[in-house]
Amino acid sequence: MSIQRFPLSAVQKIRQYIQTALTLPESENRLDRRLPDPDGDFPEPGSLSDLGNLFSVGGVREAIATASATSTSWFLSTSNPGAALLKLPGLSLKPDLRLVAYLYRGAEGGIGIVWALPETMSTTAQLEKALVNCRDHTQIPQPVGVLSDVMGSIAGDRSPASFLIASILRREFSEFGALGNFQEWSHHRLITQPPEQAKWQWRVKQPLDLAPKVRMFPDGKAAVEFFTCRMVTPVTIFQHIDQYPAASYQAIGVDRPVANRQRG
């Protein structure tokens, strides 16, 4: 059994890369989405290049997504969540699987959901069937054939770093498309020590080592531990612990508050 610690700067860079890869186009990341004028015309392209752009993200495809969003509240995102795995060390998407995402935009904010499913079942027609009757944030679209856990689609080299990266990736997937009051993980900042500008009231015995770390077991299992500080009221330090089985990257995770900022 061995424990490996990781520098905070490296984990922060991994998280930033994942967040950048999962960034939505502005048209999908705002709450004031509107239907296009059905009687209006699309802008006349000035060149063949413009004509090509009309049919890319931001053109007709975006208008269709906007119409879908307005009519059902939920809509199929044009983003590819799988892009986050293209350059992540130690992790990859399993063959013949695809990641897809749905978004909800309403007056109270926005949420998203990332699903993994076989490529053969990920046609646009199949994915749009899941939108029927999904009109508020509690009615989450779920296409036929999806895996119960998106992390079941992840393969890796079983290195200590791959488990820590998987723990960050899972939480970023859970926050995909979240806006306004639906945001939670976005308010967390990775830490290696309690922020000095505040006095802390510990709910547990204060840990001596807050560095991100991975413990590997002889049977192939792994455990990840890292700490964050939620920077919005109530400002709180959290301990995150994920336990991984020997055969997958589907973790049993706990996110527990361990200290609160004292008032005054």
Residue-level pLDDT, tens digit, the chain, 264 residues: 789 999 999 999 999 999 999 999 999 987 665 444 444 444 544 444 444 443 444 444 444 444 444 444 899 999 999 999 999 999 999 999 999 999 999 888 899 999 999 999 999 999 999 999 898 889 999 999 999 999 999 999 999 999 999 999 999 999 999 999 899 999 999 999 999 988 999 999 999 999 999 999 999 999 999 999 999 999 999 999 999 999 999 999 999 999 999 986
Question: Does the residue 145 lie in any domain?
Answer: yes
Domain extent, residue 173, equals: 2-23+62-261
Residue 156 burial (CB count, 10 A): 20
pLDDT of residue 108: 80
How long is the chain?
A: 264
Question: Does the residue 164 lie in any domain?
Answer: yes
Angle between the 160-174 and 8-21 helix axes, to the nearest 10 degrees? Answer: 40
Question: Does the residue 71 lie in any domain?
Answer: yes
pLDDT of residue 83: 95
Q: Using CA atoms, how far apart are residues 190 and 172, in angstroms rounded to an integer?
A: 13
Question: Does the residue 206 lie in any domain?
Answer: yes
Number of domains comprising the chain: 1
Phi, psi of 160 (to 5 degrees): -55, -45
Question: Does the residue 34 lie in any domain?
Answer: no
Q: Using CA atoms, how far apart are residues 93 and 88, in angstroms rounded to an integer?
A: 10
Question: Does the residue 141 lie in any domain?
Answer: yes
Q: How far is CA 115 from CA 35, 143, 164, in A?
A: 26, 8, 21
pLDDT of residue 46: 47
